[in-house]
Amino acid sequence: MALSPDDVARLAALARIELTEQERETLAPQLDVILESVASVAGLAGDDIPPTSHALPLVNVFRPDEVRQTLSADRALAMAPAAEDDRFRVPRILDEEA
């Protein structure tokens, strides 16, 4: 099925994209190739192939939670370039008006 420039104009209207006549004529054969490629991929998978999200089976590797010693706030702040009110001091990145 070949797309016409009118088909492209309809798709562009649905997507709320303005296209010139030249763009519609250029995009028609390009979109046609894309649609043919998608159709060929859709035909590859048969009923005997289960749908998968990855080529290889993935398994999460978990370790048991263990309570361990952590840094105290004072020690963590001692390594910071700047600290204020028991917190890390960082440069402001947001405007106050926002």
Angle, CA of 45, 51 and 53, to the nearest 5°:
120
Distance CA 31, CA 17 (A): 15
pLDDT of res. 96 = 67
Query: Which pLDDT score is estimated for 33?
Result: 93
pTM score = 0.45
Cα 93 to Cα 42: distance, rounded to the nearest angstrom: 47
Q: Which fold has domain 5-42?
A: Histone, subunit A (1.10.20)
pLDDT, residue 97, reads: 65
Domain boundaries, given as residue ranges, for the chain:
5-42
